[in-house]
Amino acid sequence: MTHIPGIVITGASGRMGQMLIKTVTDSDQARLVGVVERAGHDWVGQDVGVAMGGPALGVTVTDDPLEAFAQAQAVIDFTAPEATLEFAALAAQARCVHVIGTTGMTEEQIEALEPASRHAVIVRAGNMSLGVNLLVQLTKKVAAALDEDFDIEVIEGHHHHKVDAPSGTALMLGEAAAEGRGVKLVDVADRARDGITGARKRGDIGFHAIRGGDIVGEHDVLFAAPGERIVLRHLATDRAIFARGALKAALWGQGKAPGQYDMVDVLGL
């Protein structure tokens, strides 16, 4: 019997799913024990290594999440909001750590995770990279140090397949800026400008989403005042940074008390 945690990856065929499978199989701190895809997907029933175009990994893609979770200590889930809610209930039933990278969840969907977090560890973050989580801390500090003479704008760019906007990371950065200023993001967020919008409202936090090509993820937090500007920037050039962060979270969560955590907890920032 090994003490190396067994990991299940959901959304196996996705951009992040495939990156996570590589990261887990390359790691000597975790074992890949299951991979899940949605029912009807042509990867279901195939060896996941072969489906990815490489050598067999001895793990068959399944559309039965509970059966897979029952063999595991952690589930790493970068899929879609409705799927993530279903996986949260099943991961809690199997007492697996549930690492959630899925973005675009509504407030109601986030609240619906609460019952699962009474029985199991959930680590959820709109961005799992060390660099972005540091940027979040810096944003909070800079926003706290500056007054509303500095207009805050969050500018993000992603590949053309991305389905939600602003990105989960942009919202994390907006929340951090609002927290630094001692205000609620919902009261100051300006999420779309088009047409005759009128002058910018003092204290607002603006969001802009660029979508194009294969951009992995770029985020600027701009603090613009008369006569000077500060720009905090993170550029992701490789999805591996998110997968490494997610695996770190899955390992960190082993033996922790049930509840909801984020990457600030995992990274001890």
Look up 141 and say whether it is catalytic.
no
- Amino acid making up residue 23: T
Q: Within positions 230 to 249, which residues make up the interface with ligand NAD, using CB under 6 A? A: 242
x/- string (CB under 6 A) for ligand NAD, residues 34-73? --xxx--x--------------------------------
What is the smallest separation between the CB atom of 128 and ligand NAD, expressed in angstroms? 4
Q: Which of 158, 208, 219, 234 is catalytic?
A: 158
For position 23 contacting ligand NAD by CB under 6 A, the verdict is: no
Between 16 and 120, name the residue whose CB sits nearer to ligand NAD: 16
Between 36 and 75, name the residue whose CB sits nearer to ligand NAD: 36
What is the smallest separation between the CB atom of 55 and ligand NAD, expressed in angstroms? 21
For position 139 contacting ligand NAD by CB under 6 A, the verdict is: no
The residue of the chain with the least Cβ separation from ligand NAD equals 14
Q: Which residue has the tokens 């993000």?
A: 156
Q: Within positions 70 to 129, which residues make up the interface with ligand NAD, using CB under 6 A? A: 78-80, 83, 101-104, 125-128
- Determine whether 263 is exposed, middle or buried from the number of CB atoms within 10 Å of its CB (0-12, 13-18, 19+): buried
What is the smallest separation between the CB atom of 177 and ligand NAD, expressed in angstroms? 19
Q: Which of 98, 141, 159, 162 is catalytic?
A: 162
Between 59 and 188, name the residue whose CB sits nearer to ligand NAD: 59
From the list 59, 54, 66, the residue with the least C-alpha distance to 44 is 59
156 - beta bridge partners?
209, 219
For position 17 contacting ligand NAD by CB under 6 A, the verdict is: yes
For position 133 contacting ligand NAD by CB under 6 A, the verdict is: no
From the list 108, 79, 93, 91, the residue with the least C-alpha distance to 13 is 79
- 226 contacts: CB under 8 Å, gap ≥ 6: 149
How far is CA 25 from each of CA 6, 29, 57, 250, rounded to the nearest angstrom?
11, 9, 9, 14
Look up 158 and say whether it is catalytic.
yes
For position 9 contacting ligand NAD by CB under 6 A, the verdict is: no
For position 261 contacting ligand NAD by CB under 6 A, the verdict is: no
Q: Within positions 154 to 193, which residues make up the interface with ligand NAD, using CB under 6 A? A: 168
Residue numbers at the binding site for ligand NAD (CB under 6 A): 10-11, 13-17, 36-38, 41, 78-80, 83, 101-104, 125-128, 168, 242
Question: Which residues are annotated as catalytic?
Answer: 158, 162
